A and B are shown apart, each in its own frame.
Chain A
Amino acid sequence: MPIPSIIAEQLVYRYGSLLAVDQISFQVASGEIFGFLGPNGAGKSTTVKMLTGQLRPQAGQITILGIDVARHPKRMQARIGVCFELTNLYETMSGAENLHLFARLFGVRSFDADALLRRVGLDGRGKDKVEGYSKGMKQRLMIARALVNQPDVLFLDEPTEGLDPTSAQAIRHVIREEQMRGATIFLTTHDMHEADLLCDRVAFLDRGTIVALDTPHTLKQQYGQRMVYVEVLAPDGTLQRREIMLDRADTPAEVAALLQGEQVVTLHSAEATLEDIFIRITGRGLAS
């Protein structure tokens, strides 16, 4: 594993009697896209707040880019970018003014707002006030704002939630570009499909603890059940659905028998989704 950009060790955070984060530890390698998945209340936001220096852990230690976050939060924050789930732009300012403000705060000397706006598909809209932007445009501007300082680590919280497919695709494209530039991406999402598409590794968080952490492929192999879904035409003319588990000793014979004995209309295989695996591990869904 390359040198980690993020090292979290034994993090604990408690709100009164509620243990929000319970001794979690993980590392994120430089240049990796790391997915942080879990239902509401699992402790994702608290963990991200601690990682980004907004909240001091009650126990444990965080090192980002070799910087002790508790001791030097501002030094660390100068090298990260954060895109929040909820819009938090200056609505009465234009898109370009928002970017310029943050570029100045990050001490970026030569900053080209137009180029950044073009990257996120907002070219020609930089002078418009943010209050007139659609949700997708605001989200893209948030991504652009997180990139003003060319961060070494990028924290993205539900970056494509509620967006139209075009906006979501544009944001995924930028995320991949940033990875190619060498940035480490910490992606918090409910969207299992997105995590599967983008992440090199994912961590499942449940009730403040990490219950699984690996590549999506390995998790699927370890916990998932590959299936074959078959639709057959019954003698009475109705469509009936059959499910056959793959990876069992008698699977070939079962499939052969079906093909020979039934009138097969459709047949396709499917591997387990990350959501299936999450449910299997935790006993509950991500939406809960």
Chain B
Amino acid sequence: MSLYRVGVLLYRELVQGPKNIIFIFAVVVPLVLSFVLALLFGTLFSGKPRLGIVDEGSSQLSQSAAAMTSIRLTIFDTQVGLEAATRRGAIDMGVVVPADFDAQLAAGQPTTIIAYVWGESLLKDRALLGTALVAWTRQIAGQELPVTLTTTMLGDTVALPWQDRLLPLLILMSVVFGAMMLPASSLVSEKQHRTLTALAITPATTADVYLAKGLLGVGLSTVMALVVLALNGALNERTGLVAGVLLLGAIFSAELGIVMGTLVKDVNSLFATIKAIGLLLYAPALIALFPDIPQWIARIFPTYYLVQPVIEIVQHNARLADIAGLLGVLLALIAVTGAILALLARRNYRLGVV
């Protein structure tokens, strides 16, 4: 393999790519879908108020916030990070809890917490977070509420907000479509126009060609997925981790695309194949749309291991250790698909097909 030749081929893909309808789709579809969802539901994360905390001690306030399922909590390491996240709208409110906060309250001494509020946050979110902060503070101070509030839940008490349900679909659309379809369609188009045969008798290897095509899909889809998450205010302080997971997911999708491109003969067959396997690819997202379906079924499908780590990070603020198992499966899928690809390349050489 030669990085120089990969670069030459990638440059050609980049120059010619934007003329390809799939390329345009890969860029436009996630953005359009994202804007449509934003129009329908507000931002994807407007369903739950988003609170950020810098806990300089080990306050009970953080534990109370973490236990409350109706808010989305993000723990920040520094005040600077908290302020920046609030400023860009990643959270609705950010509070800095001093190290001696619990002790001061317990001693009946006055104390202060700094709160940053995102100027564009919804009024209901500010009100809810403010009320919750007061309630937690009373709890730590050992003060009883003078009123007992009896609540009765009405309607569907287990329903997930639609924004949460649609997020896996949006991620899969961003990652899988571009990363899989771009290399697949490019490969099939080269087969149809016989240019792949012309490349086959140059010093460029099959791996060079596959890598160049895969890189375009991986790069574009990773960027698009990050853009879509950013547009929806879903990026938290673990953006690097999200980008890494999306990159792995895009690599897996690109491998699937190249396998398909290697096996099918023409663009019509490619689209027929995509239609046939589309349900399998998007199954985890479709299952997430309907919480009544047992969610473990999604684990059967390979793309679950692509989308779920992203969901864990952006919705539950998971760390690398929390998603290590899912990433392990994703890495194994990448290795297996890569091996299949190598076998296919060898078979093609033996049979004289490109």
Q: Is A24 positioned at the interface, with any CB of B under 8 Å from its CB?
A: no
- B194 contacts A90, C-beta separation under 8 Å: no
Q: Closest Cβ of chain A: how far from B188's Cβ, in Å?
A: 15
Q: How long is the Cα–Cα vector from A127 to B237 in the complex, in angstroms?
A: 49
A169 interfacial by beta-carbon distance below 8 Å: no
Interfacial residues of chain B within 330-354, with CB under 8 A of chain A in the complex: 349-352, 354
Number of chain B residues close to chain A: CB under 8 A: 24
Is B205 close to A, CB under 8 A? yes
The reply to whether A54 and B354 contact each other, CB–CB distance below 8 Å, is yes
**Min CB gap B252→A, angstroms:** 28
Contact between B16 and A102, CB atoms less than 8 A apart: no
- Identify the closest chain B residue to A53 (Cβ): B201
B195:A105 contact, CB within 8 angstroms: no
Residues of A within 8 A of B204 (CB): 105
Select B194's contact among A55, A88, A102, beta carbons within 8 Å: A88
The closest CB in chain A to the CB of B19 belongs to A92
Q: Does B12 contact A (CB under 8 A)?
A: yes
* B199 contacts A by Cβ under 8 Å: yes
Docked-complex contact A105 and B5, CB < 8 angstroms: yes
A84 — which chain B residues lie within 8 A by C-beta?
194, 197-198
Name A45's closest neighbour in chain B (CB-CB): B352
When C-beta atoms are compared, the residue in chain B nearest to A75 turns out to be B203
Given the complex, which residues of B lie within 8 Å of A44, measured CB to CB? Answer: none
> Which residues of B from 204 to 257 have beta carbons under 8 Å from A?
204-205
**CB within 8 Å of B: which of A50-97?**
52-56, 74, 77-78, 80, 82, 84, 86-93
Q: Are A145 and B198 in contact (CB under 8 A)?
A: yes
B200 A56 Cβ-Cβ under 8 A: no
Min C-beta distance of A49 to chain B, whole Å: 5
Asked whether A46 is an interface residue with its Cβ less than 8 Å from the other chain, the reply is yes
CB interface residues, B 1-51, toward A, < 8 Å: 4-5, 8-9, 12, 16, 19
Asked whether, in the complex, the Cβ of B352 is within 8 Å of the Cβ of A49, the reply is yes
A239 interface contact, C-beta 8 A:
no
Complex alpha-carbon distance, A105 and B8, angstroms:
7
- Which residue of the partner chain, among B12, B16, B201, B205, contacts A54 with CB atoms under 8 Å? B201
Q: Are A54 and B352 in contact, CB atoms less than 8 angstroms apart?
A: yes
**Complex partner residue of A106 from B16, B195, B203, CB under 8 angstroms:** B203
Assess the A88–B198 pair: CB atoms within 8 A.
Answer: yes
Tell me the smallest distance from the CB of A110 to a CB of chain B, in Å. 16
Contact: A101 with B350, CB < 8 Å? no
Q: Does B193 contact A (CB under 8 A)?
A: yes
Cβ contacts A123-143/B at 8 Å (1 or 0 each): 000000000000000000000
CA distance A93 to B190 in the complex (A): 13
Does A107 touch B at the CB level, under 8 Å? yes
How many chain-A residues does the 8 Å CB contact rule pick out? 28
Known: A91-B193, A105-B8. A56 touches B202 (CB 8 A): no
> Does B202 lie within 8 Å of A105, measured CB to CB?
yes
Cα A107 to Cα B12 with chains together (Å):
16
Question: Complex formed: what's the CA distance from A90 to B350 in Å?
Answer: 26
Of the candidates A74, A105, A106, the one having the most CB atoms from chain B within 10 angstroms of its own CB is A105
User: Inside 8 A of A91's CB, which chain B residues have their CB?
Assistant: 193
Q: Determine how close the nearest CB of chain B comes to the CB of A42; give it in whole angstroms.
A: 16
Report whether over half of chain A's contact residues are helix, strand or loop; otherwise say mixed. Answer: loop
- A55-B349 Cα distance, complex, nearest whole Å: 6
A74 touches B197 (CB 8 A): no
Bound form: Cα–Cα A260–B203 in Å: 69
Verify B8–A104 contact, CB threshold 8 A: yes
Closest residue of chain A to B349, judged by CB?
A56
- Does A78 contact B19, Cβ atoms closer than 8 Å? no
Q: How far is the CB of B318 from chain A (nearest CB, A)?
A: 44
Q: Which residues of B contact A78 (CB under 8 A)?
A: 202-203
A27 to chain B, nearest CB (A): 21
Residue of A nearest to B202 (CB): A105
With A88-B195, A90-B16 known as contacts, the answer to whether A77 contacts B8 (CB < 8 A) is: no
Contacts of A105 in B (CB 8 A): 5, 8-9, 199, 202-204
Q: How far is the CA of A106 from the CA of B4 in the complex (A)?
A: 11
Residues of A within 8 A of B199 (CB): 105
Asked if residues A101 and B12 are in contact (CB atoms below 8 Å), the reply is: yes
Q: Assuming the A-B contacts A56-B350, A101-B12, A105-B5, are A90 and B201 also in contact, with contact meaning beta carbons closer than 8 angstroms in the complex? A: no
Within the complex, the shortest CB–CB distance from B303 to chain A, in Å, comes to 32
Complex CA–CA separation, A80 to B202 (angstroms): 8
Question: B72 CB to closest chain A CB, in angstroms?
Answer: 47
Q: Is the CB of B195 within 8 A of A90?
A: yes
Kindly list chain A residues whose C-beta atoms are within 8 Å of the C-beta of B205: 74
A52 touches B201 (CB 8 A): yes
Q: Are B202 and A77 in contact (CB under 8 A)?
A: yes
A107:B201 contact, CB within 8 angstroms: no
Q: Which of A77, A88, A102, A104 contacts B197 (CB 8 A)?
A: A88
| B-side contacts of A52, CB under 8 Å | 201
- Give chain A residues whose Cβ lies under 8 Å from the Cβ of B16: 90, 92-93
* Contact status of A77 and B201, CB under 8 A, knowing A54-B352, A55-B352, A104-B8: yes
A56 to B205, CA, bound (A): 15
Q: For residue B19, which residues in chain A have a CB less than 8 angstroms away from its CB?
A: 92
Residues of A within 8 A of B193 (CB): 88, 90-91
Give Cα A80 to B203, complex, Å: 10
Q: A88-B194, A105-B8 are in contact. List 6 more A-B contacts (CB 8 A).
A: A46-B352, A54-B197, A54-B352, A55-B351, A78-B202, A90-B195
What are the 4 tightest A-B residue pairs by CB atom distance, in nearest-first order? A55-B352, A88-B194, A105-B202, A104-B8
A residues neighboring B (CB under 8 Å): 46, 49, 52-56, 74, 77-78, 80, 82, 84, 86-93, 101-102, 104-107, 145
A-B contact pairs, 6 of them (CB 8 A): A56-B349, A77-B202, A78-B202, A88-B198, A105-B199, A105-B202
